[in-house]
Amino acid sequence: MSPNNRLLRPIQRFTIRKVDSTVVLFLATIVALIVANSPLRDLYHTLLAIPINLNILGLDIFHYHGEPMSFLVFANDVLMVFFFFVVGLDIKQQLLVGELSSVKKAMMPVVGAIGGMIMPILLFLLIAPAGDASRGAAIPMATDIAFVLAVLMVLKDHVPASLRVFMTTLAVADDIGGIIVIALFYSSGINLLMLGLGLATVALLALLGRSGVRHIVIYMIGLFIVWFFFLQSGIHTTIAGVMVALAVPMTTSVSCHQLGNLAGTVSRMLPHTENTQKDQTTHLDGADIAMINSLRQSASRAIPPVQRLEHALTGWVNYLILPIFAFVNAGIDFSTFTMDSISALPFAVSLGLLIGKPVGIFLFTYVYILLTKHQWSDGVYPAMLFAVSILGGIGFTVSMFIASLSYDVQLHLDWLSEAKLGILTGSLISGIIGYITVLAVGKRHQKKMAQKAN
């Protein structure tokens, strides 16, 4: 092998390897922090203020209150709609066939999620400055499922599968709680006509879904229409993403059994005299092409629209939308902070995540188990439950989003920056302490089990 090839192989392996979305999100955050604290800070803030314009048939799509959206507002109010749309698709699956599909399965993680929302809010209100600063009480109630699951996957040899399912379900319930809070407390100046048109569109989409309409393009067009009506109504636009997602059907027109039969039929009818190796010259007649196309169309119809949309959008959300969101929101200029000027707000946020979140999750879950005499799952015990609960304090994405809704960038920039500082420190410390604690508790438990076995 030539020296050049030896040098290129590691680079080729790196570029081919699938990059984890949490790594991309983390890198976007780091880049934003570096740029915002470098000589490029003015360019960074200029980028955030760039107006976004789109005029269709004389209608300014991205105008709100008569002004074009800035790139920052565009990221938060337009791009994040797709994030919440994917969240809504996941919630629908959990409600129909997942851990939220029955009261018995859902109760324990839902109770844990409620505790993980109540305790951080109470702790925030105890510490944060009085007055308008209290609008950010919901900031530390969120759990970032992507980061939590990334840590749990690294620690999978020490965390039982049942506890990973518990944390995943808890995060979904947590998302539902966050969505309700956004809808109830972060909407203002309601335009009832626009709200009614938006809800009527959602109802129409739900009716189409129940009638067997499974063309995903229809639901994407519906998402745009509902988003536009909600933008004008005063209801936050991300709620449009969730509501439309819940209207998407999860049924198919072709069952897996039917698809298997069709595939067998096509396989038997295709010519077997052709060269079977790939990358060889092949010629099919019209009937063969028609059969293959029929199989391809049937395969698409065998996948529920909910999962087709989730599969189509998840990559875009994870590797483009969320990194853009992190980049435009995480750029905190540390030079603006001094020990004399900083308020209690960042401490309220960070302690809400670091202490309120794990205490709420563990306490509510543990009391529920005691009161209901619920059986502990295999490999789950109080110490490990508390250790994993610490990871619930990683609240990056949704916490940042709620912070941007809580404090207007024009009116309360200092509070917004302090809240973001609290989110970053609270999430980072929760991740580090959670990782170390889960690892230590897991190794200790494995050592005990090994000693018992001997």
| Phi, psi (degrees; rounded to nearest 5) at 70 | -75, 165
Instruction: For residue 331, give the DSSP letter.
Output: -
What homologous superfamily is domain 19-251+304-453 in, according to CATH? Na+/H+ antiporter like domain (1.20.1530.10)
Question: In the prediction, which pLDDT does 275 show?
Answer: 53
The mean per-residue pLDDT over the stretch 150-173 comes to 81
**Percent of the chain residues topping a pLDDT of 90:** 37
The mean per-residue pLDDT over the stretch 307-335 comes to 89
**Distance from the first to the final alpha carbon of the chain:** 51
Question: In the prediction, which pLDDT does 263 show?
Answer: 75
The mean per-residue pLDDT over the stretch 305-323 comes to 91
Q: What is the pLDDT of residues 364-382, one digit of tens each?
A: 999 998 898 877 766 678 8
Question: In degrees, to the nearest 5, what angle opens at C-alpha 399 toward C-alphas 224 and 143?
Answer: 100
Domain coordinates in residue numbering, the chain: 19-251+304-453, 254-270+286-303
Tokens, residue 182: 């956004």
Please give the model's pTM, rounded to 2 decimal places: 0.78
Please report, for residues 20, 109, 146, 443, 448, the alpha-carbon distance to residue 158 in angstroms, rounded to integers and kept in the order given. 21, 20, 19, 7, 13
Question: In the prediction, which pLDDT does 279 show?
Answer: 62
Quickly state the pLDDT bin for 166 (edges 50, 70, 90).
confident
Q: What is the pLDDT of residues 266-293, one digit of tens each?
A: 777 777 655 556 666 666 777 777 777 7
Question: In the prediction, which pLDDT does 14 show?
Answer: 37
DSSP states along 231-266 = HHHTS-THHHHHHHHHHS----SS-HHHHHHHHHHH
- Rounded CA-CA distance 170/176 in Å is 10
